[in-house]
Amino acid sequence: MGAALTPTCLLGALPLDILFAILCWLDGKTITRCCSVCRLWRETIATSTELQYSVELWADGLIPGDADGLSPVEKMERLNERRRRWRDLDWTSRTVFPINQQPRAYELVGGVFAQQNTWPQSDFAAIRLPTAQTGGHVTVTENIGVESLDFAMDPSRDLVIFLHKHPDEIGNLDCRSLSSLRPHPQASVPRLSFDLRDDEFRRIFVQIAGDVVGLLFRTTGSLRLVLFNWCTGAPLVDLAGPQFPHSVSDFSLLSPQAYILAAVNDSQYYRGQPKGIGEIHIYSFDETQRSYPTLVATLQLPHPNPGRFLDRIIAHSGPFCAYPLPGPFSQSNDNRIMVISLAYDRSEYYSVYMHHRYLKKYLHPTNDGPPPKIMWDEWGPQNSRMLPGRHLFWLRYVHGERVVCPVDPAHPRRVELLDFGVTPTRPGFDASPPMIIEASTISQEGSVFKQDVVTALPYRRCCRELNDDHILYLVDQDRILGVTEMVNKLIVYTF
């Protein structure tokens, strides 16, 4: 009499209802991997609308929000409808809001467009943008009490942080509730202060990621980077001058534990002019206590021809929201696109698009050696897409994995959207036009580059003609925002 066979996978012996309950705890990416375990798991996943919804949510770079009692079938229908509307640029409503023509600063995060001014007084206006179910709402505070130079916000935490300077050479970051502009209840120290020494604010970059607020500003002679944990009030990073790589021109928080510095490596010269090789320096830091940030990797951009040089490099990605936004789904912070804008010789523009997840993979080094410097040919062709660009003068043209393009002067009524949230290798993926999978080439002939630049990150290109002229576009999770020629109206196209 033979011995009884023992299942090689004990989970295979579980009742289907228990297996299903376990799978429901997993994210969409993990559920997709589970399809390869065995036929039983694959069939369990394929026949469950709830599990399929998790997979499709992950495929669109989203996380679950407040489903408000919707069934799995209803959630899937809403997701498919959202997907179709963005693919066809078929918005549900068009709303017009007046805006200030020359604000001191502006922001677009989490369904809120805000502007702040310092003259004739320090006022602050916030537009709660319309959704498919509700209208918009405008709140104006005529005097916020400080002469703010810039601000950042995270509506998912009801947070706005104002930057201002005290006459006694003190820089301040005021942490307030966005809804009331009172001190934020989660901030142990509502006003974060730092010594300005002999520094003057020149060019300012303020960003928030989770519990971290970061400030990069140009001083009289160099740059300075200051990071705080705004909840605890702990200073985390304070760097200046020679502590930076060569010619840093921009900064971007990847997460509450990492940031990048975009720079022009001008350490080598040709006939008195810098070669201007663009570089992306990736750093990690401790979000709980003060420490020196760790350089984990440097990505190099394509080499220019001798005599041609990179004037400016700007790094920009969509905002980081700590919590899901209202609605059945919300953008995942892990699924975002970074746009590296390059200006050569003050006349030739290009944009490099890459996923945040590619940058963040270097945060977990596999060896104890020095931080690697990765040449363009080793990473760029397969992990980015370089396209000719145009000059941009307002940010927030990126959200999640979507990028709304600058206005083409030849077509001022056309809106163009690039969607990098596509996965051609996923079963059932629709690769029909306007999907672009094949590699594109920027030839060295007639360009600044020393060699042909070939890149292959897939994306979808969507266009639509409008009834209004715009000079620029912004984008967020549920909307495209157009600014009119007089810069006095915001036209909101809600999906």
Q: What is the 3-state secondary structure (H, E, C) of the chain?
A: CCCCCCCCCHHHHCCHHHHHHHHCCCCHHHHHHHCCCCHHHHHHHHCCHHHHHHHHHHHCCEEECCCCCCCHHHHHHHHHHHHHHHHHCCCCEEEEEECCCCCCEEEEECCEEEEECCCCCCCEEEEECCCCCCCCEEEEECCCCCCCCEEEEEHHHCEEEEEEEECCCEEEEEEEECCCCCECCCCCCCEEEEECCCCCCCCEEEEEECCEEEEEEECCCCEEEEEEECCCCCEEEEEEHHHCCCCEEEEEEEECCEEEEEEEECCCEECCEECCEEEEEEEECCCCCCCCCEEEEEEECCCECCCCCEEEEEEEECCCCCCCCCCCEEECCCCCEEEEEEEECCCEEEEEEEEHHHHHHHHCCCCCCCCCEECHHHHHHHHCEEEECCCCCCCCCEECCEEECCCECCECCEEEEEECCCCCCCCCCCCCCCEECCCEEECCCCCCECCCEEECCCEEEEEEECCCCEEEEEECCCEEEEEECCCCEEEEEEC
Same domain, residue pair 56 and 145: no
Confidence of residue 11 (pLDDT cuts 50, 70, 90): low
Residue 129 belongs to a domain: yes
Residue 159 belongs to a domain: yes
Residue 92 belongs to a domain: no
Backbone phi, then psi, for 23, in 5-degree steps? -65, -30
Work out the mean pLDDT of the chain and round it to a whole number. Answer: 90
Show the domain range for 341: 99-410
pLDDT at 439: 96
Same domain, residue pair 133 and 70: no
For 150-160, write each residue's pLDDT tens digit: 999 999 999 99
What are the structure tokens assigned to 349, written together? 């523009």
Please state the pTM of the whole predicted model. Answer: 0.92
Give the residue with greater pLDDT, 460 vs 223: 460
> What is the average per-residue pLDDT within 448-453?
94
Same domain, residue pair 335 and 391: yes
Q: Which of 351, 383, 410 is the last residue of a domain?
A: 410
Strand pairing report for 273-274 and 269-270: antiparallel
Residue 198 has pLDDT above 60, yes or no: yes
> What is the average per-residue pLDDT within 456-473?
95
Residue 200 belongs to a domain: yes
Torsion angle in degrees (nearest 10) through CA of 417, 329, 437, 300 = 80
Q: How far apart are the first and last CA of the chain?
A: 67
pLDDT at 1: 46
CATH code, 276? 2.130.10
Q: Which of 379, 410, 441 is the last residue of a domain?
A: 410
Selection from 288, 245, 400 nearest residue 334 by Cα: 400
- Please give the tally of structural domains in the chain: 2
- Residue environment code for 300-328, b if the CB has 16+ CB neighbours within 10 A, otherwise e: bbbbbeeebbbbbbbbbbbbbbbebbebb
Same domain, residue pair 50 and 168: no
Bond preceding residue 120 cis, omega within 30 of 0: yes
The answer to whether 480 and 91 have CB atoms below 8 angstroms apart is yes
pLDDT at 210: 98
Q: Which of 83, 109, 144 is the last residue of a domain?
A: 83
Residue 162 has pLDDT above 80, yes or no: yes
For 117-147, write each residue's pLDDT tens digit: 877 788 999 999 999 889 999 999 999 999 9
Same domain, residue pair 329 and 217: yes
For 19-31, write each residue's pLDDT tens digit: 888 888 998 889 9
**Count of beta carbons in the 10 Å neighbourhood of residue 210:** 20
Q: What share of the chain in percent tops pLDDT 90? A: 68
pLDDT at 10: 65
Same domain, residue pair 143 and 50: no
pLDDT at 161: 98
- Any residues with CB less than 8 A from the CB of 250 and at least 6 apart, and which? 205, 216, 261, 262, 313, 314, 315
Residue showing tokens 């020095």: 370
Confidence of residue 270 (pLDDT cuts 50, 70, 90): very low
Same domain, residue pair 40 and 111: no
Residue 3 belongs to a domain: no
Residue showing tokens 């919707």: 70
> What is the average per-residue pLDDT within 302-313?
88
Q: Looking at this protein, which amino acid is placed at residue 148?
A: S
For 387-399, write each residue's pLDDT tens digit: 998 877 799 999 9
For 345-380, write each residue's pLDDT tens digit: 878 999 999 999 999 999 987 778 899 999 999 999
Residue 231 belongs to a domain: yes
Same domain, residue pair 66 and 157: no
The answer to whether 296 and 283 have CB atoms below 8 angstroms apart is yes
Residue 484 belongs to a domain: no
Residue showing tokens 């989490």: 110
For 319-353, write each residue's pLDDT tens digit: 999 999 988 999 999 999 999 999 998 789 999 99
Same domain, residue pair 61 and 113: no
Same domain, residue pair 172 and 35: no
CA distance 402 to 274: 34
Residue 178 belongs to a domain: yes
Same domain, residue pair 20 and 139: no
pLDDT at 271: 46
What are the structure tokens assigned to 10, written together? 């004990």
CA distance 168 to 170: 6
CA distance 42 to 28: 13
For 40-71, write each residue's pLDDT tens digit: 888 889 999 999 999 999 999 999 988 778 99
Backbone phi, then psi, for 156, in 5-degree steps? -65, -15
Same domain, residue pair 168 and 295: yes
